[in-house]
Amino acid sequence: MRNKILEALYANKGNYVSGEILKEKLGISRTAVWKHIKILQDQGYNIQTAPRKGYVLFEADDKLLSKEIESLLWGHTMGRELIVFDSIDSTNTYGKNNADHLMDGTIILSEEQLAGRGRRGKDWSSPKGTGIWMSMVLKPDIPPTEGVKTTQIAAAAVCKAIRDLTGLDALIKWPNDIVVNGRKVCGILTEMAGQLNKIDYIVVGIGINVNNTEFPEGISAVATSLQIEYGKKIDRKELIVRIIKNFEALYHSYIENLNLTEVVAIVRDYSAVIGKEIKVIHGTSERIVTVHDIDEEGFLIVESGDGKREVIFSGEVSI
Ligand code: BT5
């Protein structure tokens, strides 16, 4: 019941919700509503009351409190287990090291990462309290070859959440970046372990620059944050919850019948690379190709200079 009250107050954050509306919505008496509100206040929620207006929830600060995020994810399978650190080396490393005893769908968040990782040993800048540094531990019963597609599911979930929350023209730079106005706001690092025919775990790491106002010198020319682009501070918890809800819906339809249709529709619609000339980097080799499309499995169909088409399954691209 209290989760439902919180949900209603969060949905109208900063605005009053009358006791009458809560009573109708929840099917309990106004006195019962009031008693639940009292308990929530005792638990530390900043809920104010005013005669004839009702109840209003204010956030004390932008800290990632697990209780709040849990209440917003109530009834969802992703995030049933939620671990929030103040500081950690890397949420992905924690997920990998503890995967054997973490439940499928566990979400790990940290206010900062001291050794955030990108792909192939690159660094990921993760300063305190500014961004979303999050890993999801997944244990799907699908063939290992399918696991790589979770990157596209995560990209679709993040891109849609950013667009819905901010209206920014966020685009997916295949395979693992989200960009706004040509600069990177999000990177995804998918790590997997398993045997020939079975996935032990997948850890999907998502790093999003949310309220960063500056960047280390090495990346300031290529990175941006949602706050910089949107012009206002963004509620990290709200974005986290939207991403997780989007991800859960897309991921379940995928693992249940390996259906990627909706994911592919999103990554195509919001692609930063379709129709563009890109540089594909594979180890030490580089070549220029034109992106023709993204196929039904989320892979890139490219055309080289001689008009020959081929599918690219992984790699790094630069526009
Ligand atoms: C990525 O790698 O983009 C994957 C980033 C994944 C980060 C998440 S945070 C939660 C989880 N825990 C982790 O330890 N990691 C995951 P890649 O495509 O290889 O890009 C790395 C490159 O992006 C670096 O070499 C920099 O040039 C640049 N970069 C580093 N930090 C950045 C930032 N905060 N914003 C934008 N670009 C950044």
Please determine, for residue 63, whether its predicted confidence score (pLDDT) is greater than 80: no
Is this model's pTM higher than 0.80 or not? yes
The protein residue with its alpha carbon nearest to ligand 1, atom 8, reads 207
Are residues 36 and 27 in contact, defined by beta-carbon separation less than 8 angstroms?
A: no
Q: Is there an atom of ligand 1 within 6 Å of 299 CB?
A: no
Domain-wise residue ranges, the chain:
2-58, 66-269, 277-318
92 labelled ligand-binding: yes
Q: Angle 150-166/261-269 helices, nearest 10 degrees? A: 60
Cα distance between residue 2 and residue 67, in whole Å: 12
Cα distance between residue 21 and residue 54, in whole Å: 9
Q: Is there an atom of ligand 1 within 6 Å of 270 CB?
A: no
H helices of the chain, where? 2-11, 19-26, 30-42, 66-72, 91-97, 150-166, 226-230, 236-257, 261-269
Q: Is there an atom of ligand 1 within 6 Å of 155 CB?
A: no
309 labelled ligand-binding: no
Which pair of structure tokens corresponds to residue 314?
Answer: 């992984």
Per-residue model confidence (pLDDT) at position 226: 98
Q: State the pLDDT confidence band at 61, using cuts at 50, 70 and 90.
A: low
| CATH architecture of the domain covering 2-58 | Orthogonal Bundle (1.10)
Alpha carbon of 92 to ligand 1 centroid (Å): 12
Q: What is the pLDDT of residues 13-48, one digit of tens each?
A: 878 999 999 999 999 999 999 999 999 888 778 888
Please determine, for residue 113, whether its predicted confidence score (pLDDT) is greater than 70: yes
Are residues 92 and 122 in contact, defined by beta-carbon separation less than 8 angstroms?
A: no
Q: Is there an atom of ligand 1 within 6 Å of 110 CB?
A: no
Q: What is the pLDDT of residues 121-144, one digit of tens each?
A: 999 999 999 999 999 999 999 999
Least Cα distance to 207 among 266, 122, 149 occurs for 122
The percent of residues in the chain predicted with pLDDT above 90, rounded, is 75
Per-residue model confidence (pLDDT) at position 1: 81
Are residues 248 and 72 in contact, defined by beta-carbon separation less than 8 angstroms?
A: no
What's the whole-number mean pLDDT along residues 224-240?
A: 95
Query: Mean pLDDT for the chain?
Result: 92
Q: What is the pLDDT of residues 156-205, one digit of tens each?
A: 999 999 999 999 999 999 999 999 999 999 999 999 999 989 999 999 99
Which pair of structure tokens corresponds to residue 139?
Answer: 């244990």
Please determine, for residue 91, whether its predicted confidence score (pLDDT) is greater than 90: yes
Per-residue model confidence (pLDDT) at position 71: 78
Q: Is there an atom of ligand 1 within 6 Å of 19 CB?
A: no
Q: State the pLDDT confidence band at 72, using cuts at 50, 70 and 90.
A: confident
Question: CB neighbours of 145 closer than 8 A, spacing ≥ 6?
Answer: none
Q: What is the pLDDT of residues 285-304, one digit of tens each?
A: 888 999 999 999 999 999 98
Residue appearing with tokens 């997920």: 95
**Sheet harboring 198-208: ordered strands across?**
82-85, 106-110, 132-138, 198-208, 183-195, 177-180, 171-173
In order, the DSSP letters of 17-74 are B-HHHHHHHHTS-HHHHHHHHHHHHHTT-EEEEETTTEEEEE-S-S---HHHHHHHTT
Please determine, for residue 67, whether its predicted confidence score (pLDDT) is greater than 80: no
Domain spanning 66-269: CATH 3.30.460.80:
no
Reported ipTM: 0.99
Kind of pairing between the strands at 198-208 and 183-195: antiparallel
113 labelled ligand-binding: yes
Q: State the pLDDT confidence band at 60, using cuts at 50, 70 and 90.
A: low
Does residue 193 come out as left (phi exceeding 0), alpha (psi in the -120 to 50 range) or beta? beta
Looking at the CA of residue 212, tell me the nearest atom of ligand 1: 34
End-to-end CA distance of the chain: 50
More confident residue, 316 or 67: 316
User: Which residue among 88, 124, 125, 314 is best mutated to probe the pocket of ligand 1, counting the most ligand atoms within 8 A of its Cβ?
Assistant: 124
Q: What is the largest CA-CA distance in the chain?
A: 75
Per-residue model confidence (pLDDT) at position 4: 87
Per-residue model confidence (pLDDT) at position 245: 97
Reported CATH class of domain 277-318: mainly beta
Cα distance between residue 232 and residue 167, in whole Å: 12
Q: Is there an atom of ligand 1 within 6 Å of 176 CB?
A: yes
